[in-house]
Amino acid sequence: MSSLPTDVLFPGAFQSRMQHELGEAWPSFKEAHEQPAPVSIRINPQKKFSPALPHVLWSKLGFYLETRPVFTLDPAFHAGAYYVQEASSLFLEQVLQQAVDLTKPLRVLDLCAAPGGKSTHLLSLLSNDSLLISNEVIRARAQILWENIQKWGHANVVVTNSDPSAFQQLPGYFDIILVDAPCSGEGLFRKDPDACQQWSEDSVNLCAKRQQRILHEAWPALKENGLLIYSTCTYNAHENEANLTHFINDHRAEFVTLRLQPEWNIDEVVLNPVVGYRFFPHSVQGEGFFISAMIKKEPATRVKIKSNGKFNLATTRVVEQVKSWCKNPDWYKWIQQQDLIIQVPETLLPEIEFISSLLYPVGKGTAVASAKHDKLIPEHAFALSNSIATNHFATTLLTKAEALAYLRKDSLFVSEGLKGFGLMCFETNNLGWVNHLGNRTNNLYPAAWRIRMAAES
């Protein structure tokens, strides 16, 4: 990706502030912004994808690429084998591993979740009996979030489209709340020249006020001794440590001090009592980022989960059929919403039902099939699910060219003589469904997801 033109590299007020704060490191900071941004991905440990690439130092799941490929033309990307994510933000992994016991069943809220990087990261780190509520207030972005969640293949998640204030209906419910707050985007100047051009001091002040509102509205939903993680992609203390200082004046909490390795070159920020961690692009192989974590030290009455019976369980006939499609079928329950059969973990069913009645759910669990005229038609999300028993279905291994044709929803001539629903696979990961009709094969890839980009020459 091209760097910013050096003659309009930074807004004047931003440059003056950073020169003052960085001192002798300013030339290195400026030079870093004249270099291409590093490219990093985070693999899905539930899918079969093991790249021989350099690791992101603070993440077991993160890797660097030498160059930025056209991800749209990589079938593994569409299979949910990996997520393209900025390396600095993968430090969330260290926060969670050092601050909480990830083997326990946890209730987690990702409050500002679109497009889904941190939510899919959370799903890879949490136990199967944990529940993630992944929320996005902007409807169009919530749909993108839901698409990325489906690619990741987990059923212990609900995607919601609610204002942060709505979560006050769940007092003391969450063990962890992540607030990856909307910010002025200073840390993305190298990757996104538009962020640089749109920056202003007024924007910083507006973001700081919005961040304060979000923190205060989310806080009641965190249980006593629960963990709140706050992050931004900006260097600005007004949006980071000063914001947290303002917040802590009204609330009782203890900040978490993390163990850092010297080779990580991450700056620890201490402004008593605030402790945070700042990433500079001249120090780390990543973009600008800030993260802090605090433990709530206030009493919080936990909401009582009330099963309201609004979910309709699928019929015995449907359940017997979909059970044969699943690995570990005893883990799940199947509900039916109109024609859609949805799979959710049995232990989480009452909570998912209760939360769905309070908030605005975009999607929940894994859509397994649609019931049409006494026949079950498998859903695309289930093809990407980590619970699918792939050996139950006829599978076809595609070349890259064939996989891209499938992802464009082109007509296929895959197999003669086969009948019924089958899986299209690329390098052992499922891409989606087809319907074999004996003399032809119908491509069932979702029209809304299809690739519209032409192949590289």
Give the DSSP per-residue string, 48-79.
Answer: S-----PBPTT-SSEEEESS---GGG-HHHHT
| Cβ atoms within 10 Å of 168's Cβ, excluding its own | 13
d(C-alpha 140, C-alpha 427), whole Å: 32
**Residue type for 147, please?**
E
Instruction: Scan for tokens 């979000």, then name that residue.
Output: 214
Supply angle C-alpha 149, 154, 156, rounded to 5.
105
Residues in contact with 2: Cβ distance below 8 Å, sequence separation at least 6, in sequence order = 36
121 vs 42, 85, 144, CA distance in Å? 8, 10, 16
d(C-alpha 31, C-alpha 34), whole Å: 5
Strand order in the sheet with 39-43: 62-65, 39-43, 82-84
Bridge-partner residues for 332, per DSSP?
Answer: 345
d(C-alpha 303, C-alpha 237), whole Å: 35
Smallest Cα–Cα separation from 244: which of 287, 267, 278? 278
Alpha-carbon torsion, ordered 238, 241, 244, 250, to 10 deg? -90
End-to-end Cα separation, the chain, in angstroms: 20
Compute the radius of gyration of the chain from its Cα atoms: 23
What is the phi/psi pair of residue 34, to 5°?
Answer: -95, 5
Instruction: Scan for tokens 């941004």, then name that residue.
Output: 37
Residues in contact with 343: Cβ distance below 8 Å, sequence separation at least 6, in sequence order = 155, 322, 326, 332, 333, 334, 365, 366, 367, 368, 382, 385, 387
- Annotated active-site positions, please? 233
| Cα of 189 vs its chain's centroid, Å | 22
- Render the burial of 146-164: b for 16+ CB within 10 Å, e for the rest: bbbbbbbbbbbbbbbbbeb
| Cβ atoms within 10 Å of 315's Cβ, excluding its own | 13
